[in-house]
Amino acid sequence: MCSKKIEIMKTSRKTVLILSLIILSIVLESCSSARWGTNAGVNVTWGPNGPKVKPHVDLNIYNGGRL
């Protein structure tokens, strides 16, 4: 009885491993053409009490088109 459970666990482990590898390969293949785009700067907003300065840093991932 116990050996049957161990056998089922081994097969389910192999199935999960194979499915994980398939999903990982699909994700890596679809993201292979992605490009990174970075942007850093300062946003200035003018208000009644003077300017407000807010720094920002952006990190974008583009999967097509031009940067």
Euclidean distance between CA atoms 66 and 64, whole angstroms? 7
User: What confidence score (pLDDT) does residue 52 get?
Assistant: 93
Name the more confident of 10 and 52: 52
Mean pLDDT of 31-46: 85
7-24 pLDDT, tens digit each: 777 788 899 999 999 999
- 0.75 exceeded by pTM: no
49 touches 19 (CB < 8 A)? no
Cβ atoms < 10 Å from Cβ of 29: 9
- CA angle (13, 8, 25) in 5-degree steps: 25
Average pLDDT, the chain: 83
Name the more confident of 6 and 55: 55
Euclidean distance between CA atoms 67 and 58, whole angstroms? 13
